[in-house]
A = this chain, B = another copy of it.
Amino acid sequence: MQKNITVIEGDGIGPEVTRQSVKILNAIAAQFNHTFNYTYHLMGAVAIDKTGNPLPDETIESCLNSDAVLFGAIGHPKYDNDPTAKVRPEQGLLKLRKSLQLFANIRPVNTYPALQHLAPLKAEKLEGVDFIIFRELTGGIYFGKKELSEDGTKASDDCVYTTPEIERIAHLAFQYAQKPERRKKLTLVDKANVLETSRLWRKVVQEISKQYPDVAVDYMFVDNASMQIMLNPKQFDIVLTENMFGDIISDEASVLSGSLGLLPSASVGTGTVLFEPIHGSYPQAAGKDIANPLGSILSAAMMLEHFGLSTEAALVREAVKWTLENGFVSKDIEPVNFYFTSTIGDLISDYV
């Protein structure tokens, strides 16, 4: 099999974790006789520094012409604390999501026995936790009209949703819920007691659910959901939600796994699919070879799965599990006797 992959290393720890994934993809390619062609492009703070633009046109072009995108991380503190900055790294990612129409961000939430001691929750809460969050990614308040009054004393962000935007991700989520390995339950998270957009979500999902009679649906207000994720995370199977609520609850849910550093995600749409760890650019760790590469490596495994290479994906996951069980872990997991980012990449690449 031959695949073209655009690699966007991005900011902070993005480059060093992404390089481990590429190393492992190469090992897989050698082992199973595939050809992966990589094209490297810029996005984020690093792109602003080099070109003035957080998402140069070549990057978009390359992504559109690739089979998949492997992305690292985005963001730099120098922009975060400057509310007046006109250009910011995150604009690059948001524009890329829109350009590739990546309307659904899929984040599996699993727990790893070897990491349970790191999670803030009691062990009995964590056993059997296994759900997937479907976060809408190209609509809502992220992409509505933003305004700042001339005199700078009034700001607004518009949250907009249309029926087709809700339908396409709802169908995707319902179809996932029907998969043999799932428990056929879908929870819509919204704030329908306050928001007009949430009421539209609820109406559309109620309608669509009729086409999936084997999937049980429930509706939960986002404030309640933020409690339920901690109080009883086992109740969830497929969680469907809009962009901003998804941003918040999927990061919240990441604490169940014991480390944000090993959660992967896929953003899918109408064409090219993008894979990225859910962690951020973690600038304090950049260049130190101490970041956890597993989020990126498991994202690469999702990419292999997406290419139809299930055996290869399973092998990468097995290797990851082996490192965790044998203590070949990064500093976030084992602050004293830790292994370097690049060493973990080497170990997994040797294993596969």
Chain A residues within CB distance 8 Å of chain B? 75, 79-81, 83-84, 88, 90, 94, 120-122, 125, 141-142, 144, 146-148, 152-164, 191-197, 199-200, 202-203, 206, 219, 221-224, 226-227, 230-231, 244-245, 247-252, 254-255, 260, 280
Are B156 and A199 in contact, CB atoms less than 8 angstroms apart?
no
Q: Are B252 and A252 in contact, CB atoms less than 8 angstroms apart?
A: yes
A219 touches B122 (CB 8 A): no
User: Are B248 and A222 in contact (CB-based, < 8 A)?
Assistant: yes
Alpha-carbon separation in the docked complex, A248 to B196 (Å): 18
Apart from A155-B200, A156-B197, A223-B247, list 12 A-B contacts with CB within 8 A. A75-B193, A80-B193, A83-B200, A83-B202, A94-B194, A121-B121, A121-B122, A154-B163, A154-B200, A222-B248, A230-B252, A248-B248
* Most B CB within 10 A of own CB, among A84, A147, A148, A154: A154
Chain B residue at smallest Cβ distance from A144: B156
Across-interface contacts of A244 in B (CB, < 8 A): 191
Q: Are A194 and B249 in contact (CB under 8 A)?
A: no
Contacts A80-B219, A84-B203, A122-B122 known; A195 to B146 CB distance under 8 Å? yes
- In Å, the complex CA distance between A154 and B192 comes to 15
B255 close to A231 (CB less than 8 A):
yes
Given A94-B194, A196-B148, decide whether A153 and B157 contact each other with a Cβ distance below 8 A. Answer: no
Whether the Cβ atoms of A120 and B193 lie closer than 8 Å is: no
Chain B residues, Cβ within 8 Å of A192: 80, 83
For A94, list chain B residues within 8 Å (CB). 194
Do B230 and A120 have beta carbons less than 8 Å apart? yes
Which 9 pairs show the lowest CB-CB distances between chains A and B?
A: A226-B252, A155-B200, A83-B199, A223-B251, A146-B196, A153-B163, A83-B203, A155-B196, A156-B160
Pick from B75, B194, B219: contact of A142, CB below 8 A.
Answer: B194
**With a CB–CB cut-off of 8 A, which chain B residues contact A260?**
227
CB neighbours of A153 from chain B (8 A): 162-164
Question: In whole angstroms, how far apart are the Cα atoms of A163 and B83 in the complex?
Answer: 14
What is the chain B residue whose CB lies nearest that of A199?
B83
Q: Could you jot down 16 A-B contacts, CB within 8 Å?
A: A84-B199, A120-B231, A121-B121, A121-B230, A141-B194, A144-B156, A146-B195, A153-B162, A154-B161, A155-B197, A155-B199, A156-B160, A156-B197, A157-B159, A223-B250, A226-B248
Q: Write the chain B residue with the least CB distance to A149.
A: B162
Q: What is the bound-complex CA distance between A156 and B146, given in angstroms?
A: 13
Q: Is the CB of B230 within 8 A of A193?
A: no
> Considering the chains assembled together, what is the distance between the CA atoms of A158 and B145 in angstroms?
9
Closest to A248 in B: B226
Residues in B whose Cβ lies below 8 Å from that of A141: 141, 159, 194-195
